[in-house]
Amino acid sequence: MVVFCEHQTESTPEETTCSSSVNQKPLAVSDLWASEITPSSLVLNWNYTDGCGPVTYIVTGGSLPAKGQVVSGTSTLITDLPCGGEVTFTVVAVAADGTTQGEAKDFSVFTKPLAVSDLWASEITPSSLVLNWNYTDGCGPVTYIVTGGSLPSKGQVVSGTSTLITDLPCGGEVTFTVVAVAADGTSQGEAKDFSVFTKPLAVSDLWASEITPSSLVLNWNYTDGCGPVTYIVTGGSLPAKGQVVSGTSTLITDLPCGDEVTFTVVAVAADRSTQGEAKDFSVFTTPLPVSDLWASEIKPSSLVLSWNYTDGCGPVTYLVTGGSSPAEEQVVSGTSTLISNLPCGDEVTFIVAAVTADGMTKGEAKGFSVFTSKI
């Protein structure tokens, strides 16, 4: 209760008249702001001018009951708010009589969105991927800011829950950050990070060198400028899980002689799981040399040339040269052949080499000399 006394100007100095006592309205609160904002709560703060009579405050809005919340100080924790949505509060000062109110002041603010979850990458290539995530239904409308990788430093604004990201380094690790942003464009949820490797490039130019009946060196090229990789080589005599190779060639042993073997080479990123496109390469090992050459049914102008070949190798034919001059070449499917038109009573030399099913890969050639009979 405030008592106002008016000074009477035209009377003796001692004479005063007091008016009836009344309650004045409190001043309006000022400088409303929110702190400690989470997806479901915040602390609402305000200022009130010192020097006025004692007041309490009624706060309404948000999740508060319709009649409001009575607060004795200049801040209050408000819970059970909708995530990522706009909430409006009204604060009014109330005089000590509990009924006389000052001017009400409104304040709107967005709660934080929830954090995105379950980030994953799909459609991964050596230079691009689709980044995906989930977001909880029931929160206010949000957009997303995605940063990292080849994206600009300010990030990329995305309206949905996935985005295609291009121009990435091949076979390298890239890290992205995704944060949900409320409809005010500034209130952000907790940022979530996700790291993934792009696919390495495919190897190229596979070839074999140092080919023997049971081994070879497999070689390939790989593009410089990609992230560090190892290689998994499968096929031939290698175990099913393959052989891990750090360089661009490897010696492979215990191969079947004179037969076709197929190898697959794939580059693997430093996470040891992200693989590039696999490349296949087929090659024939060399056949074994023929052995035990001999001649039978020798006549003045002909003979039967025979030899042995080891069982267990791949299918072969035989290339026989020699005899007449210039030397004739004969492809033979078995291990003997009749050679005619030879010079009588003279020495003739033959060379026999096994040839694999590709018609090109030859084993070590073996020579054999013999005299035809005289007439």
Fold of 291-371: Immunoglobulin-like (2.60.40)
Single out the residue of 374, 372, 375 nearest to residue 302, CA to CA: 372
Contact assessment for residue 114 and residue 39, using Cβ atoms and an 8 Å cutoff: yes
Per-domain residue ranges of the chain: 30-110, 117-197, 204-284, 291-371
- The pLDDT tens digits of the residues spanning 242-266 come to 999 999 999 999 999 999 999 999 9
pLDDT, one tens digit per residue, over 49-95 is: 877 889 999 999 998 999 999 999 999 999 999 999 999 999 999 99
pLDDT beyond 60 at 14: no
What does pLDDT average to over the chain? 91
- 113-159 pLDDT, tens per residue? 999 999 999 999 999 999 999 998 788 999 999 999 999 999 999 99
What does the pLDDT read at residue 6? Answer: 34
- The reported pLDDT for the residue numbered 325 is 60
Bridge partners, residue 221, by sequence: 204
Give the class (CATH, top level) of 30-110: mainly beta
pTM over 0.85: no
Same fold, 117-197 and 204-284: yes
CATH topology of domain 117-197: Immunoglobulin-like (2.60.40)
Q: 337 CB contacts (<8 Å, ≥6 apart)? A: 304, 305, 320, 330
- Topology of 204-284 in CATH? Immunoglobulin-like (2.60.40)
Asked whether the predicted pLDDT for residue 352 surpasses 50, the reply is yes
Q: 246 — alpha (psi -120 to 50), left (phi > 0) or beta? A: alpha
SS3 string, 86-125, reads EEEEEEEEECCCCCCECCCEEEEEECCCCCCEEEEEECCC
Distance CA 86, CA 59 (A): 16
Q: Name the DSSP letter for residue 210.
A: S
Q: What is the pLDDT of residue 326?
A: 62
What share of the chain has pLDDT > 70, as a percent? 93
